[in-house]
């Protein structure tokens, strides 16, 4: 495979079904298939607005870049803006970066992350961030190779489901 044959482009509403299949492939790789509880309609609504509605004033929750090789979707990066109070600048957080296993090791992941980094620079963002599972040594090595710092001193905190509802209502957990 030649990287000259690789095409990176923003996702469109027509990409939602294939994107959802890539998300399920990512979940399978991460041994988290049971965690995929979303659906196509919800994905489309949050990325592009409700199907059939006027999308002209819609502000997406997240953005997606699709990687295609020979017109076949082989990977994606889903990301959104965040904000650094210390830098007083926006940033970009990559929620997911995924390349199908048979296409790994060919520079596609690096091209995807570079594309998002270019967006971050063009949007005057102060940083680009993402998380990686602690057992995913190949990904950790890749990220360190491209210049990322793995911050061992930070931990992700997450509230979901009933705990989120209880917290929102002020109930003790």
- Rounded to 5 degrees, φ, ψ at 43 are -60, -50
Which residues are 9's β-sheet partners?
Answer: 66
DSSP 33: G
Which among 93, 103, 115, 143 is annotated as catalytic? Answer: 143
Given a contact cutoff of 8 angstroms between Cβ atoms, the answer to whether 85 and 57 are in contact is no
Q: Pairing between strand 89-99 and 127-130?
A: parallel
Structure tokens at 134: 């602690």
With tokens 């803006």, the residue in question is 81
Q: Contact, 173 vs 163, CB < 8 A? A: yes
Active site residue 143: yes
**Contact indicator for 36, 96 with CB cutoff of 8 Å:** no
Question: What are the catalytic residues?
Answer: 143
């Amino acid at each position: 495979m030649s990287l000259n044959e690789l095409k990176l482009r923003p996702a469109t509403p027509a990409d939602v079904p294939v994107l959802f299949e890539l998300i399920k492939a990512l979940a399978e790789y991460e041994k988290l298939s049971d965690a995929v509880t979303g659906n196509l309609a919800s994905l489309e609504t949050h990325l592009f607005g409700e199907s059939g509605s006027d999308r002209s004033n819609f502000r997406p929750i997240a953005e997606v870049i699709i990687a295609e090789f020979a017109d076949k979707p082989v990977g994606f990066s889903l990301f959104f803006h965040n904000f650094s109070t210390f830098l007083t600048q926006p940033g970009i957080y990559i929620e997911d970066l995924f390349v199908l296993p048979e296409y790994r090791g060919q520079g596609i992941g690096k091209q995807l992350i570079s594309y998002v980094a270019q967006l971050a620079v063009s949007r005057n963002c102060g940083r680009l961030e993402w998380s990686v599972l602690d057992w995913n040594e190949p990904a950790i090595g890749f990220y360190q190779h491209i210049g990322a710092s793995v911050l061992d001193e930070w931990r992700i905190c997450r509230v979901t489901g009933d705990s989120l509802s209880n917290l929102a209502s002020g109930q003790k957990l």
